[in-house]
Structure 1
Amino acid sequence: MCRGRGPVAGACGVALRAGVVRDDAGAAGRPAHADRRRNQLAVAVFGDFPALPDSRRTLSHLLFTEPYLRELHRTGWARAAREHVAHLRVLLGRYRGDSGLAAHIDHMRELSADFARMWAEHPVAQVRNRTYVLHHPVVGELTLHGELVALPDEPSCCGLDLFAAEPGSASEQALRQLGSR
Protein backbone atom coordinates (compact mmCIF):
# COMPACT_ATOMS: atom_id res chain seq x y z
CA MET A 1 0.00 0.00 0.00
CA CYS A 2 1.27 3.43 -0.75
CA ARG A 3 2.94 5.10 2.21
CA GLY A 4 3.57 8.80 2.70
CA ARG A 5 0.93 11.23 1.59
CA GLY A 6 -1.05 8.18 0.52
CA PRO A 7 -2.96 7.67 3.78
CA VAL A 8 -4.71 10.97 3.14
CA ALA A 9 -6.50 9.96 -0.01
CA GLY A 10 -5.48 6.34 -0.29
CA ALA A 11 -3.04 7.04 -3.08
CA CYS A 12 0.32 8.72 -3.28
CA GLY A 13 -0.66 10.98 -6.17
CA VAL A 14 1.58 9.43 -8.80
CA ALA A 15 0.81 6.85 -11.45
CA LEU A 16 2.71 3.67 -10.68
CA ARG A 17 3.95 1.55 -13.55
CA ALA A 18 1.48 -1.17 -14.54
CA GLY A 19 3.98 -3.90 -13.70
CA VAL A 20 4.43 -2.81 -10.08
CA VAL A 21 1.44 -4.84 -8.93
CA ARG A 22 0.48 -7.34 -11.59
CA ASP A 23 -2.68 -9.39 -11.32
CA ASP A 24 -0.68 -12.56 -11.84
CA ALA A 25 1.98 -11.69 -9.23
CA GLY A 26 0.02 -13.84 -6.78
CA ALA A 27 0.82 -16.92 -8.83
CA ALA A 28 4.21 -16.89 -7.16
CA GLY A 29 2.48 -16.93 -3.78
CA ARG A 30 3.13 -13.30 -2.88
CA PRO A 31 0.22 -11.03 -2.09
CA ALA A 32 1.21 -7.48 -2.99
CA HIS A 33 -0.31 -4.03 -2.95
CA ALA A 34 0.79 -0.53 -3.89
CA ASP A 35 -1.09 2.69 -4.37
CA ARG A 36 -4.73 1.71 -5.03
CA ARG A 37 -3.86 -1.62 -6.65
CA ARG A 38 -3.61 -5.09 -5.20
CA ASN A 39 -2.90 -8.28 -6.99
CA GLN A 40 -5.57 -10.98 -6.93
CA LEU A 41 -3.89 -12.89 -4.12
CA ALA A 42 -3.78 -9.79 -1.92
CA VAL A 43 -7.52 -9.34 -2.51
CA ALA A 44 -8.09 -13.02 -1.62
CA VAL A 45 -6.12 -12.61 1.63
CA PHE A 46 -6.92 -9.07 2.81
CA GLY A 47 -10.30 -8.39 1.22
CA ASP A 48 -11.62 -6.54 -1.81
CA PHE A 49 -10.07 -3.11 -1.23
CA PRO A 50 -10.97 -1.90 -4.77
CA ALA A 51 -14.67 -2.61 -4.07
CA LEU A 52 -14.77 -0.11 -1.20
CA PRO A 53 -16.05 3.41 -1.81
CA ASP A 54 -13.19 5.70 -2.83
CA SER A 55 -13.43 7.71 0.39
CA ARG A 56 -12.81 4.55 2.48
CA ARG A 57 -9.83 3.19 0.54
CA THR A 58 -7.28 3.90 3.23
CA LEU A 59 -5.53 1.53 5.56
CA SER A 60 -6.94 3.59 8.43
CA HIS A 61 -10.49 2.88 7.32
CA LEU A 62 -9.75 -0.79 6.75
CA LEU A 63 -8.17 -1.32 10.14
CA PHE A 64 -10.59 0.74 12.19
CA THR A 65 -13.95 0.35 10.43
CA GLU A 66 -13.97 -2.93 8.50
CA PRO A 67 -14.98 -5.85 10.73
CA TYR A 68 -13.46 -8.31 8.24
CA LEU A 69 -9.95 -6.97 8.78
CA ARG A 70 -10.32 -6.91 12.55
CA GLU A 71 -11.47 -10.55 12.49
CA LEU A 72 -8.67 -11.45 10.06
CA HIS A 73 -6.07 -10.13 12.52
CA ARG A 74 -7.91 -11.23 15.70
CA THR A 75 -5.45 -10.98 18.62
CA GLY A 76 -2.89 -9.23 16.39
CA TRP A 77 -5.28 -6.45 15.43
CA ALA A 78 -4.25 -4.09 18.24
CA ARG A 79 -0.58 -4.35 17.24
CA ALA A 80 -1.33 -3.79 13.53
CA ALA A 81 -3.60 -0.84 14.36
CA ARG A 82 -1.05 0.71 16.74
CA GLU A 83 1.73 0.32 14.12
CA HIS A 84 -0.46 2.11 11.60
CA VAL A 85 -1.25 4.99 13.97
CA ALA A 86 2.46 5.26 14.82
CA HIS A 87 3.28 5.40 11.10
CA LEU A 88 0.73 8.21 10.63
CA ARG A 89 2.60 10.18 13.31
CA VAL A 90 5.82 9.73 11.31
CA LEU A 91 4.03 11.00 8.21
CA LEU A 92 2.59 13.96 10.09
CA GLY A 93 6.14 14.94 11.06
CA ARG A 94 7.48 14.38 7.55
CA TYR A 95 4.69 16.30 5.80
CA ARG A 96 4.14 19.17 8.22
CA GLY A 97 1.38 21.44 7.06
CA ASP A 98 -0.30 18.79 4.89
CA SER A 99 -3.93 19.77 5.43
CA GLY A 100 -5.19 16.56 3.80
CA LEU A 101 -3.26 14.37 6.21
CA ALA A 102 -4.40 16.44 9.18
CA ALA A 103 -8.01 16.23 7.97
CA HIS A 104 -7.70 12.45 7.55
CA ILE A 105 -6.41 12.07 11.11
CA ASP A 106 -9.17 14.31 12.49
CA HIS A 107 -11.77 12.33 10.54
CA MET A 108 -10.45 9.02 11.88
CA ARG A 109 -10.40 10.37 15.45
CA GLU A 110 -14.10 11.22 15.10
CA LEU A 111 -14.98 7.98 13.30
CA SER A 112 -13.24 5.48 15.58
CA ALA A 113 -12.89 5.52 19.36
CA ASP A 114 -10.04 2.99 19.02
CA PHE A 115 -8.17 5.26 16.61
CA ALA A 116 -8.72 8.28 18.88
CA ARG A 117 -7.45 6.36 21.93
CA MET A 118 -4.33 5.11 20.11
CA TRP A 119 -3.66 8.56 18.64
CA ALA A 120 -3.82 10.06 22.14
CA GLU A 121 -1.10 7.61 23.26
CA HIS A 122 1.35 9.34 20.83
CA PRO A 123 3.05 6.26 19.33
CA VAL A 124 5.71 7.07 16.70
CA ALA A 125 7.34 4.40 14.54
CA GLN A 126 8.08 3.62 10.94
CA VAL A 127 7.47 -0.09 10.44
CA ARG A 128 9.08 -1.57 7.34
CA ASN A 129 8.73 -5.26 8.16
CA ARG A 130 6.39 -7.30 10.29
CA THR A 131 4.88 -10.74 10.76
CA TYR A 132 1.14 -11.25 10.83
CA VAL A 133 -0.74 -14.29 12.04
CA LEU A 134 -4.03 -14.02 10.20
CA HIS A 135 -7.20 -16.08 10.58
CA HIS A 136 -8.55 -16.43 7.06
CA PRO A 137 -12.18 -17.56 6.70
CA VAL A 138 -11.37 -19.95 3.83
CA VAL A 139 -7.91 -21.40 4.55
CA GLY A 140 -7.56 -20.88 8.29
CA GLU A 141 -4.40 -19.62 9.97
CA LEU A 142 -1.84 -17.83 7.79
CA THR A 143 1.53 -16.58 9.00
CA LEU A 144 2.77 -13.94 6.58
CA HIS A 145 5.94 -11.89 6.68
CA GLY A 146 5.45 -8.39 5.26
CA GLU A 147 8.03 -6.01 3.90
CA LEU A 148 7.51 -2.42 2.76
CA VAL A 149 9.82 -2.04 -0.23
CA ALA A 150 10.79 1.39 -1.56
CA LEU A 151 10.32 1.82 -5.29
CA PRO A 152 13.50 3.32 -6.75
CA ASP A 153 11.88 5.44 -9.46
CA GLU A 154 8.92 6.65 -7.39
CA PRO A 155 8.64 9.43 -4.80
CA SER A 156 9.57 8.50 -1.27
CA CYS A 157 5.90 8.36 -0.31
CA CYS A 158 5.33 5.26 -2.39
CA GLY A 159 6.19 1.72 -1.50
CA LEU A 160 5.18 -1.79 -2.32
CA ASP A 161 3.91 -4.02 0.46
CA LEU A 162 5.00 -7.59 -0.22
CA PHE A 163 3.89 -10.55 1.87
CA ALA A 164 5.31 -14.06 1.85
CA ALA A 165 4.94 -17.29 3.77
CA GLU A 166 7.82 -19.51 4.87
CA PRO A 167 8.69 -21.91 2.03
CA GLY A 168 7.19 -25.34 2.59
CA SER A 169 4.91 -24.15 5.40
CA ALA A 170 1.19 -24.71 5.81
CA SER A 171 0.78 -20.96 5.17
CA GLU A 172 2.52 -21.29 1.81
CA GLN A 173 0.17 -24.14 0.90
CA ALA A 174 -2.80 -22.02 2.00
CA LEU A 175 -1.63 -19.13 -0.22
CA ARG A 176 -1.36 -21.53 -3.16
CA GLN A 177 -4.89 -22.70 -2.45
CA LEU A 178 -6.16 -19.11 -2.39
CA GLY A 179 -4.23 -18.33 -5.58
CA SER A 180 -5.79 -21.22 -7.45
CA ARG A 181 -9.38 -20.16 -6.72
Structure 2
Amino acid sequence: MDKNVDLKDFLRTRRARLTPADAGIADEFPGRRVPGLRREELAALAGVSVDYYVRLEQGRNLNPSASVVDALARALQLDDTERAHLFDLAQPRHVRRPPGPRTQRVRPTMFGMLEALDDAASPAFVVGRRMDVLAANRMARALICDFNALPAGQRNKARFIFLDPGARDLYVQWDKVAAETVAILRLDAGRHPDDPQLSALIGELSVKSEHFRHWWAEHQVLVRTSGTKLYRHPIAGEITIDFQALQLPEDPEQTLFVYTAPAGSPSQQALRMLASWNAADRLTIVHAKVGVESDILQ
Protein backbone atom coordinates (compact mmCIF):
# COMPACT_ATOMS: atom_id res chain seq x y z
CA MET A 1 0.00 0.00 0.00
CA ASP A 2 1.44 3.36 -1.12
CA LYS A 3 0.48 6.21 1.20
CA ASN A 4 0.95 8.83 -1.54
CA VAL A 5 -1.44 6.99 -3.85
CA ASP A 6 -3.95 6.53 -1.03
CA LEU A 7 -3.66 10.22 -0.08
CA LYS A 8 -4.28 11.47 -3.62
CA ASP A 9 -7.22 9.09 -4.14
CA PHE A 10 -8.77 9.98 -0.80
CA LEU A 11 -8.52 13.71 -1.55
CA ARG A 12 -9.94 13.19 -5.02
CA THR A 13 -12.94 11.13 -3.85
CA ARG A 14 -13.75 13.52 -0.98
CA ARG A 15 -13.53 16.53 -3.34
CA ALA A 16 -15.78 14.82 -5.88
CA ARG A 17 -18.64 14.49 -3.41
CA LEU A 18 -18.79 18.22 -2.58
CA THR A 19 -20.76 20.71 -4.68
CA PRO A 20 -20.35 24.49 -4.64
CA ALA A 21 -23.66 24.67 -2.78
CA ASP A 22 -22.31 22.27 -0.14
CA ALA A 23 -19.22 24.45 0.25
CA GLY A 24 -21.22 27.67 0.39
CA ILE A 25 -19.61 29.25 -2.68
CA ALA A 26 -20.94 30.54 -5.97
CA ASP A 27 -20.72 28.21 -8.94
CA GLU A 28 -18.39 30.03 -11.32
CA PHE A 29 -18.13 27.05 -13.63
CA PRO A 30 -21.69 26.20 -14.79
CA GLY A 31 -22.02 23.07 -16.85
CA ARG A 32 -18.99 21.47 -15.21
CA ARG A 33 -18.20 18.07 -16.70
CA VAL A 34 -16.91 16.40 -13.55
CA PRO A 35 -18.71 15.97 -10.20
CA GLY A 36 -17.74 17.95 -7.17
CA LEU A 37 -15.54 20.95 -6.59
CA ARG A 38 -12.73 21.92 -8.90
CA ARG A 39 -9.19 21.82 -7.54
CA GLU A 40 -8.98 25.62 -7.67
CA GLU A 41 -12.10 25.94 -5.55
CA LEU A 42 -10.90 23.52 -2.90
CA ALA A 43 -7.44 25.10 -2.77
CA ALA A 44 -9.08 28.48 -2.14
CA LEU A 45 -11.27 27.04 0.62
CA ALA A 46 -8.24 25.43 2.31
CA GLY A 47 -6.04 28.51 1.91
CA VAL A 48 -3.30 26.78 -0.09
CA SER A 49 -1.99 27.48 -3.57
CA VAL A 50 -3.56 25.69 -6.50
CA ASP A 51 -0.15 24.34 -7.52
CA TYR A 52 0.44 22.88 -4.03
CA TYR A 53 -2.96 21.19 -3.93
CA VAL A 54 -2.55 19.81 -7.46
CA ARG A 55 0.75 18.24 -6.43
CA LEU A 56 -0.97 16.63 -3.43
CA GLU A 57 -3.60 15.10 -5.69
CA GLN A 58 -0.87 13.91 -8.02
CA GLY A 59 0.55 11.80 -5.20
CA ARG A 60 3.79 13.69 -4.76
CA ASN A 61 5.47 13.13 -1.42
CA LEU A 62 5.04 16.62 0.08
CA ASN A 63 4.47 15.63 3.73
CA PRO A 64 1.98 18.46 4.40
CA SER A 65 2.04 20.10 7.80
CA ALA A 66 -0.61 19.47 10.42
CA SER A 67 -2.10 22.92 9.82
CA VAL A 68 -2.45 22.24 6.09
CA VAL A 69 -4.04 18.84 6.73
CA ASP A 70 -6.43 20.42 9.21
CA ALA A 71 -7.36 23.09 6.67
CA LEU A 72 -7.98 20.45 4.00
CA ALA A 73 -10.15 18.45 6.42
CA ARG A 74 -12.29 21.53 7.11
CA ALA A 75 -12.57 22.42 3.42
CA LEU A 76 -13.56 18.86 2.55
CA GLN A 77 -16.08 18.78 5.45
CA LEU A 78 -14.67 15.53 6.78
CA ASP A 79 -16.19 13.81 9.80
CA ASP A 80 -14.00 12.79 12.74
CA THR A 81 -13.17 9.37 11.30
CA GLU A 82 -12.30 10.76 7.87
CA ARG A 83 -10.20 13.51 9.45
CA ALA A 84 -8.18 10.97 11.45
CA HIS A 85 -7.72 8.91 8.29
CA LEU A 86 -6.45 11.96 6.38
CA PHE A 87 -3.87 12.62 9.11
CA ASP A 88 -2.80 8.96 8.96
CA LEU A 89 -2.26 9.20 5.21
CA ALA A 90 -0.50 12.58 5.32
CA GLN A 91 2.05 11.95 8.05
CA PRO A 92 5.59 11.06 6.97
CA ARG A 93 6.26 7.35 6.75
CA HIS A 94 9.24 7.52 9.11
CA VAL A 95 7.03 8.56 12.05
CA ARG A 96 4.47 5.82 11.48
CA ARG A 97 4.01 3.14 14.07
CA PRO A 98 5.79 -0.04 12.99
CA PRO A 99 3.37 -2.89 12.26
CA GLY A 100 5.28 -5.19 14.60
CA PRO A 101 5.51 -8.97 14.23
CA ARG A 102 3.90 -9.60 17.62
CA THR A 103 1.09 -12.12 17.82
CA GLN A 104 -2.30 -10.75 18.76
CA ARG A 105 -3.31 -12.35 22.05
CA VAL A 106 -6.54 -12.17 24.01
CA ARG A 107 -6.20 -11.82 27.77
CA PRO A 108 -7.38 -14.84 29.84
CA THR A 109 -9.95 -12.71 31.67
CA MET A 110 -11.60 -11.92 28.33
CA PHE A 111 -12.22 -15.60 27.66
CA GLY A 112 -14.04 -15.78 30.99
CA MET A 113 -16.20 -12.82 29.98
CA LEU A 114 -17.05 -14.44 26.65
CA GLU A 115 -18.14 -17.62 28.44
CA ALA A 116 -20.29 -15.59 30.85
CA LEU A 117 -22.03 -13.95 27.89
CA ASP A 118 -22.77 -17.45 26.57
CA ASP A 119 -24.87 -18.02 29.68
CA ALA A 120 -26.88 -14.92 28.76
CA ALA A 121 -27.40 -16.21 25.21
CA SER A 122 -25.39 -13.24 23.90
CA PRO A 123 -23.04 -13.79 20.96
CA ALA A 124 -19.72 -12.06 21.60
CA PHE A 125 -16.32 -12.02 19.95
CA VAL A 126 -13.05 -10.09 19.89
CA VAL A 127 -11.70 -8.59 16.66
CA GLY A 128 -8.11 -7.41 16.25
CA ARG A 129 -6.09 -5.84 13.48
CA ARG A 130 -7.18 -6.62 9.91
CA MET A 131 -10.56 -7.74 11.34
CA ASP A 132 -8.97 -10.97 12.55
CA VAL A 133 -11.33 -12.86 14.87
CA LEU A 134 -9.17 -13.51 17.94
CA ALA A 135 -11.80 -15.15 20.14
CA ALA A 136 -15.51 -15.98 19.92
CA ASN A 137 -17.91 -17.56 22.35
CA ARG A 138 -20.16 -20.51 21.47
CA MET A 139 -23.12 -18.27 20.66
CA ALA A 140 -21.11 -16.20 18.17
CA ARG A 141 -19.77 -19.33 16.51
CA ALA A 142 -23.29 -20.76 16.29
CA LEU A 143 -24.77 -17.53 14.90
CA ILE A 144 -22.06 -16.40 12.46
CA CYS A 145 -19.33 -18.94 11.77
CA ASP A 146 -17.31 -21.49 13.72
CA PHE A 147 -14.08 -19.53 13.42
CA ASN A 148 -12.35 -21.97 15.79
CA ALA A 149 -12.74 -24.71 13.17
CA LEU A 150 -10.88 -22.66 10.55
CA PRO A 151 -7.10 -22.55 10.10
CA ALA A 152 -5.62 -19.73 12.17
CA GLY A 153 -4.78 -17.65 9.09
CA GLN A 154 -8.39 -17.72 7.87
CA ARG A 155 -10.14 -16.57 11.04
CA ASN A 156 -11.00 -13.19 9.62
CA LYS A 157 -14.36 -11.40 9.46
CA ALA A 158 -13.70 -9.76 6.09
CA ARG A 159 -12.65 -13.06 4.50
CA PHE A 160 -15.84 -14.66 5.79
CA ILE A 161 -18.11 -11.90 4.51
CA PHE A 162 -16.61 -11.78 1.00
CA LEU A 163 -15.40 -15.31 0.37
CA ASP A 164 -17.77 -17.63 2.28
CA PRO A 165 -20.87 -18.36 0.16
CA GLY A 166 -22.98 -18.74 3.30
CA ALA A 167 -22.41 -15.12 4.31
CA ARG A 168 -24.77 -13.78 1.64
CA ASP A 169 -27.59 -15.92 3.02
CA LEU A 170 -26.74 -15.14 6.63
CA TYR A 171 -26.74 -11.34 6.37
CA VAL A 172 -30.10 -9.97 5.26
CA GLN A 173 -28.42 -6.66 4.33
CA TRP A 174 -25.26 -8.19 2.91
CA ASP A 175 -24.43 -5.21 0.67
CA LYS A 176 -24.52 -2.81 3.63
CA VAL A 177 -22.47 -5.11 5.88
CA ALA A 178 -19.90 -5.78 3.14
CA ALA A 179 -19.48 -2.10 2.23
CA GLU A 180 -19.00 -1.20 5.90
CA THR A 181 -16.43 -3.98 6.23
CA VAL A 182 -14.39 -2.46 3.39
CA ALA A 183 -14.57 0.97 5.03
CA ILE A 184 -13.27 -0.47 8.32
CA LEU A 185 -10.40 -2.19 6.51
CA ARG A 186 -9.59 1.03 4.65
CA LEU A 187 -9.22 2.85 7.98
CA ASP A 188 -6.95 0.07 9.26
CA ALA A 189 -4.84 0.33 6.11
CA GLY A 190 -4.29 4.03 6.73
CA ARG A 191 -3.03 3.29 10.23
CA HIS A 192 -0.84 0.35 9.24
CA PRO A 193 0.32 0.83 5.62
CA ASP A 194 3.36 -1.39 6.16
CA ASP A 195 1.49 -4.41 7.53
CA PRO A 196 2.29 -7.26 5.08
CA GLN A 197 -0.58 -9.45 6.30
CA LEU A 198 -3.06 -6.62 5.75
CA SER A 199 -1.66 -6.02 2.27
CA ALA A 200 -1.99 -9.72 1.49
CA LEU A 201 -5.61 -9.78 2.73
CA ILE A 202 -6.56 -6.73 0.65
CA GLY A 203 -4.84 -8.26 -2.37
CA GLU A 204 -6.67 -11.56 -1.96
CA LEU A 205 -10.07 -9.92 -1.56
CA SER A 206 -9.41 -7.60 -4.51
CA VAL A 207 -8.58 -10.54 -6.75
CA LYS A 208 -11.47 -12.74 -5.64
CA SER A 209 -14.30 -10.22 -5.17
CA GLU A 210 -15.51 -7.66 -7.67
CA HIS A 211 -17.67 -6.12 -4.95
CA PHE A 212 -14.63 -5.62 -2.74
CA ARG A 213 -12.72 -3.94 -5.57
CA HIS A 214 -15.62 -1.57 -6.22
CA TRP A 215 -16.03 -0.48 -2.60
CA TRP A 216 -12.27 -0.29 -1.99
CA ALA A 217 -11.99 2.27 -4.80
CA GLU A 218 -14.52 4.52 -3.04
CA HIS A 219 -12.12 5.22 -0.12
CA GLN A 220 -14.85 5.25 2.52
CA VAL A 221 -13.69 4.91 6.14
CA LEU A 222 -15.73 3.87 9.16
CA VAL A 223 -15.55 3.12 12.87
CA ARG A 224 -18.33 0.94 14.27
CA THR A 225 -19.41 1.62 17.86
CA SER A 226 -23.01 0.39 17.87
CA GLY A 227 -25.80 -0.53 15.53
CA THR A 228 -28.21 -3.18 14.35
CA LYS A 229 -27.69 -6.23 12.15
CA LEU A 230 -30.26 -8.52 10.55
CA TYR A 231 -29.52 -12.24 10.31
CA ARG A 232 -31.29 -15.06 8.54
CA HIS A 233 -30.01 -18.10 10.42
CA PRO A 234 -30.64 -21.59 8.98
CA ILE A 235 -31.69 -22.92 12.40
CA ALA A 236 -33.04 -19.96 14.36
CA GLY A 237 -34.61 -18.01 11.50
CA GLU A 238 -34.56 -14.22 11.24
CA ILE A 239 -32.88 -12.41 14.12
CA THR A 240 -32.48 -8.67 14.68
CA ILE A 241 -29.36 -7.97 16.68
CA ASP A 242 -28.32 -4.83 18.58
CA PHE A 243 -24.57 -4.66 18.98
CA GLN A 244 -22.04 -2.66 20.96
CA ALA A 245 -18.39 -2.43 19.92
CA LEU A 246 -16.12 -1.75 22.89
CA GLN A 247 -12.45 -0.95 22.39
CA LEU A 248 -10.39 -2.62 25.10
CA PRO A 249 -8.35 -0.02 27.05
CA GLU A 250 -5.44 -2.38 27.74
CA ASP A 251 -5.43 -3.67 24.14
CA PRO A 252 -6.39 -0.67 21.97
CA GLU A 253 -6.17 -2.68 18.75
CA GLN A 254 -8.76 -5.16 20.01
CA THR A 255 -12.52 -4.60 20.01
CA LEU A 256 -15.13 -6.61 21.89
CA PHE A 257 -18.45 -7.01 20.06
CA VAL A 258 -21.47 -7.96 22.16
CA TYR A 259 -24.80 -8.89 20.53
CA THR A 260 -28.14 -8.63 22.32
CA ALA A 261 -31.83 -8.55 21.47
CA PRO A 262 -34.64 -6.64 23.24
CA ALA A 263 -36.11 -8.49 26.20
CA GLY A 264 -39.13 -10.56 25.27
CA SER A 265 -38.68 -9.99 21.55
CA PRO A 266 -38.88 -12.77 18.94
CA SER A 267 -35.18 -12.21 18.32
CA GLN A 268 -34.35 -12.88 21.98
CA GLN A 269 -36.42 -16.06 21.81
CA ALA A 270 -34.53 -17.06 18.67
CA LEU A 271 -31.20 -16.51 20.43
CA ARG A 272 -32.32 -18.65 23.37
CA MET A 273 -33.43 -21.35 20.97
CA LEU A 274 -30.06 -21.15 19.25
CA ALA A 275 -28.35 -21.45 22.64
CA SER A 276 -30.40 -24.57 23.45
CA TRP A 277 -29.67 -26.07 20.03
CA ASN A 278 -26.00 -25.29 20.43
CA ALA A 279 -25.88 -26.87 23.90
CA ALA A 280 -27.66 -30.00 22.64
CA ASP A 281 -25.32 -30.22 19.65
CA ARG A 282 -22.27 -29.92 21.90
CA LEU A 283 -23.66 -32.60 24.22
CA THR A 284 -24.09 -34.96 21.26
CA ILE A 285 -20.50 -34.33 20.20
CA VAL A 286 -19.24 -34.98 23.73
CA HIS A 287 -21.19 -38.25 23.94
CA ALA A 288 -19.80 -39.30 20.57
CA LYS A 289 -16.26 -38.58 21.71
CA VAL A 290 -16.80 -40.53 24.95
CA GLY A 291 -18.08 -43.47 22.92
CA VAL A 292 -15.05 -43.42 20.66
CA GLU A 293 -12.68 -43.19 23.63
CA SER A 294 -14.46 -46.10 25.34
CA ASP A 295 -14.04 -48.23 22.24
CA ILE A 296 -10.34 -47.44 22.18
CA LEU A 297 -9.94 -48.27 25.85
CA GLN A 298 -11.68 -51.61 25.43
Query: TM-score category by the smaller chain?
Result: 0.7 to 0.9
RMSD of equivalent CA atoms = 1.8
- CA distance in structure 2 between the aligned counterparts of 1:127 and 1:150, rounded to whole angstroms: 10
Among 45, 51, 56, the residue aligned to 2:143: 45
Partner amino acid, structure 1, of 2:274: L
Aligned equivalent of 2:105: 15
Aligned equivalent of 1:120: 217
Is residue 118–residue 138 contact of structure 2 (8 Å, CA) maintained in 1? yes
User: Identity of aligned pairs, percent?
Assistant: 33
Deviation track 1:62-88 (CA, whole Å, cap 9, x = no partner) reads 0001122211113x1011111110011
Partner amino acid, structure 1, of 2:205: M
Please report how far the alpha carbon of residue 141 of structure 1 lies from its aligned counterpart in structure 2 after TM superposition.
Answer: 0.8
Instruction: Answer 1 or 2: which has greater helix percent.
Output: 2
Q: Structure 2: where are the runs of 5+ without partners?
A: 1-98, 127-132, 278-298
Q: Structure 1: where are the runs of 5+ without partners?
A: 1-7
Partner amino acid, structure 1, of 2:118: G
Among 151, 174, 178, the residue aligned to 2:274: 178
Segment drifting more, 59-68 vs 94-103: 94-103
Secondary structure in 1 matching 2:153: helix
The alignment's TM-score, normalised by the length of structure 1, stands at 0.86
- CA distance in structure 1 between the aligned counterparts of 2:197 and 2:144, rounded to whole angstroms: 26
The alignment's TM-score, normalised by the length of structure 2, stands at 0.54
Partner amino acid, structure 2, of 1:41: M
Deviation track 1:129-161 (CA, whole Å, cap 9, x = no partner) reads 22111111111110001111111221x211111
**Higher RCO (CA-CA < 8 Å; seq separation 6+):** 1
Is residue 33–residue 42 contact of structure 1 (8 Å, CA) maintained in 2? yes
Q: Which has the larger radius of gyration?
A: 2
Is residue 29–residue 175 contact of structure 1 (8 Å, CA) maintained in 2? yes
Please report how far the alpha carbon of residue 24 of structure 1 lies from its aligned counterpart in structure 2 after TM superposition.
Answer: 4.6
Partner amino acid, structure 2, of 1:18: P
Aligned equivalent of 1:27: 119
1:101-140 aligned at under 5 Å gives the runs 101-140=198-237
Aligned equivalent of 1:165: 261
Is residue 82–residue 118 contact of structure 1 (8 Å, CA) maintained in 2? yes
